[in-house]
Amino acid sequence: MSVELRRNGLHLTGTPLSLDAKRKSPLSFVSHGHSDHIARHESTIATAATLRFMAHRLGPVASPLSVPFRRPFELGPLLLELLPAGHILGSAQLRVTRADGKRIVYTGDLNTAPSLTAEATEVATCDTLVIESTFGHPRYRFPPRPEVLGQVETWLRAQLNRGVTPVLLGYPLGKSQEAMKQLALRGFQLVAHPSIFDVAELYAELGVPIENLRRYDGRVEPGEVLFFPPHLARGGALAPHWPRATAVLTGWAMDPGGARRYGADVAFPLSDHADFPSLLRYVKDTGARDVITCHGFAEELAQALRDAGTDARPLGKPQQMTLF
């Protein structure tokens, strides 16, 4: 069995299974509900939460196979198991075990930092590891999440104290819900754009309610913090709210000009991806002897792993790589 990068994404050769296929496939494992990982497949393997987010974005999911964490199931001669990835609610890693016991793990998007709105990451021990490398460059070393949240809280209170409407930019699924949950516990009153609020309602249905939150109707009351999707913030949608101050929550805050990229006043490095040291640690903890890096800084992460004595290579142009 080998992994192959096709035009629509990764595929396990010799099996019907694709991994986060970007286009309609006969059968695909979907690691989580972000739009760049989902499609209208003929059959989908995912957690119940991911299937719910897919239905919210794409409509009814055809032939869904809802799989709980840590409950192995068979696909032909293979044994499959989903384990938490810590990225967003319901995000999963996939471990595939051959009949001879050899194991491959595909992480999907991975986050090892503690979260209030996503299941805690579990280390998926394996022989071969296919790991996402979004922040796989040494410059991405995020401060501890409590420290970043403390900075966000201080900034928000400063804006509110001077009568300015604070706006936080975060992706509608995952990032915003985590930040809102954290800030609600710190006593903030929150108002969220409908695209963010609707997902928050899904979180509540799935057992993760977010307090102190109302749906944005064009108004922001004194003392409220507005959550808004980044892709809508550059238009005139925020014009009625003045004076205002805008911050973006993103791992790309570590880059020079990170705030300017989003048209924000300030950027805070709050990410739902693992940073460089966390990726290195995770690889070591899995015990994998063979590592394939994909997406983001795949070449840089592979080089760092080789420097540390691990057999690692990036998955780049469409090609086939033997896994076992």
pLDDT of residue 322: 44
In the predicted model, what is the mean pLDDT of residues 272-283? 98
User: What pLDDT, on the 0 to 100 scale, is given for residue 221?
Assistant: 96
pLDDT, average across residues 11-21: 88
**Sheet architecture: strand order including 244-249:** 213-215, 189-192, 224-228, 165-169, 244-249, 266-268
Percent over 70 (pLDDT), the chain: 97
pLDDT, residue 4, reads 75
pLDDT of residue 320: 42
pLDDT at residue number 116: 98
Residue 90 pLDDT greater than 50, yes or no: yes
Distance, in Å, from the CA atom of 111 to the CA atom of 91, rounded to the nearest integer, reads: 10
- Asked if the model's pLDDT at residue 321 lies above 70, the reply is no
Q: Would you say the C-alpha torsion 318, 13, 127, 284 has a positive or negative sign?
A: positive
List residues bridging with 90 in a β-sheet: none
| 173-213 tens-digit pLDDT | 999 999 999 999 999 999 999 999 999 999 999 999 999 99
* pTM as predicted: 0.94
Instruction: Convert the pLDDT of each residue in 301-317 to its tens digit.
Output: 999 999 999 999 998 64
CA–CA gap between residue 267 and residue 5 (Å, rounded): 34
What tens digit of pLDDT does each residue of 33-55 get? 999 999 999 999 999 999 999 99
CA nearest to 90, candidates 208, 191, 222, 180 = 208
Higher pLDDT, 323 or 3: 3
Q: Pick the range with the lowest mean pLDDT from 2-6, 148-152, 206-210, 270-274.
A: 2-6
Note the pLDDT of residue 323.
41
Can you give the pLDDT at residue 317? Answer: 44
Q: Provide CB contacts within 8 A for 290, sequence distance 6+.
A: 127, 128, 129, 311, 312, 323
CA distance 314 to 133: 9
Domains annotated for the chain, with CATH where assigned, are: 2-139+273-322 (3.60.15.10), 145-268 (3.40.50.10890)
Task: Report the pLDDT value the prediction gives residue 318, as an integer from 0 to 100.
Answer: 40
Mean pLDDT computed over every residue of the chain? 94
123 band by pLDDT with thresholds 50, 70 and 90: very high
pLDDT for 1 = 58
Please check the confidence at residue 2 and state whether its pLDDT lies above 80: no
